[in-house]
Amino acid sequence: LQLFPFSLGDHPFGQDTVGRDYFAMTMRGTQISLAITFMVGAISAIIGVVFGAAAGYFRGWIEAVLMRLTDMVIIIPVLLIGAVIAYNSKAGVLVLGVLLGLTTWTGMARLVRGDFLSLREREFVEAA
């Protein structure tokens, strides 16, 4: 390590007994984690906004069906799905991201539905 000019050296985290760089392995793991995070966020946001907006806008039996479907998806344990997919080494990053995204949209759907319901009751909506 050097302070002037600042340098962390060739292997700032060190190496294992085979000679693999811990910093490179950490950066690769971070890259995979960020890819999964963005994929799950995008999928859950899209599905959650569509379901929540449809339930809040149409109300009636459409709202009842969509919210019951949301309740059924909420009970799926996300950690269990992640553990099963991770255990199956043939399932890649794409499969993990998609399946986790398909189970984590429920919170977004409830928030969007609540916003739609509150906006429907505003004076400017009634005036329009």
User: Could you give the 3-state DSSP secondary structure of residue 2?
Assistant: strand
Over residues 70-91, the pLDDT tens digits come to: 999 898 888 888 788 778 767 7
Per this entry, what is the length of the chain?
128
CB 97 within 8 Å of CB 43: yes
Over residues 12-33, the pLDDT tens digits come to: 777 888 888 888 889 999 999 9
Q: pTM to 2 decimals?
A: 0.78
Nearest Cα residue to 36 out of 78, 98, 85: 98
